[in-house]
Amino acid sequence: MGSDKKPDKKKSGGGGGYKWGSAVIWAVGQWAVNWFLTPETHLWSIVSACFSAFFAGWTTSALLGRFAKWGANAWVMMVLGVLIGVAVFSGAFSGIATAYDWWTAKNVKVDWEKLLAFLITWAVLPPAALGLLTGLYVRARTPAGAKK
């Protein structure tokens, strides 16, 4: 009979694992850039940069997760990943020392000149590539929203 079928159980859990995964990918990517491309960098600078990259990856994936839940396709997620990743990485967190400044800030302002200067350097390539990968990663790990 049709009544002895068990009802489908929906998966429980928020599914936020992509945030941790993205954050770790960004931190490891930053470590690799510092280790292989700029080996003369001091250890504290590398730790600070990896810490900042961790939060940049977390923030980027959290923002992208919302778009993925709204049903954005892979191409949109890649473009948004690049844009959001570069924007966040370019100055939202520039080191452990600035975390306190952001926490205590009363008026947060965008430094457009700093962003433009960052966009025309080679330093934009790692966050752009990581943003693209984060967009695909989040898209793959997030349900596309309610299907009708």
Dump pLDDT digits (tens) for 94-144. Answer: 555 555 555 665 665 667 787 788 778 887 888 888 888 888 888 887 776
Least confident of 8-12, 65-69, 80-84, 136-140: 8-12
pTM beyond 0.75: the answer is no
pLDDT confidence of residue 93: 45
**Per-residue tokens: 44:** 């504290």
Domain ranges of the chain: 16-141
For residues 118 and 108, give the distance between their C-alpha atoms in angstroms, rounded to a whole number: 19
C-beta separation of 60 from 88 below 8 A:
yes
> In which residue are the tokens 């954005």 written?
72
**Which residues are CB-neighbours of 90 under 8 A, at least 6 positions away?**
114, 115, 118, 119, 124, 127
Dump pLDDT digits (tens) for 43-61. Answer: 777 888 888 888 888 888 8
Q: Does residue 29 surpass a pLDDT of 70?
A: yes
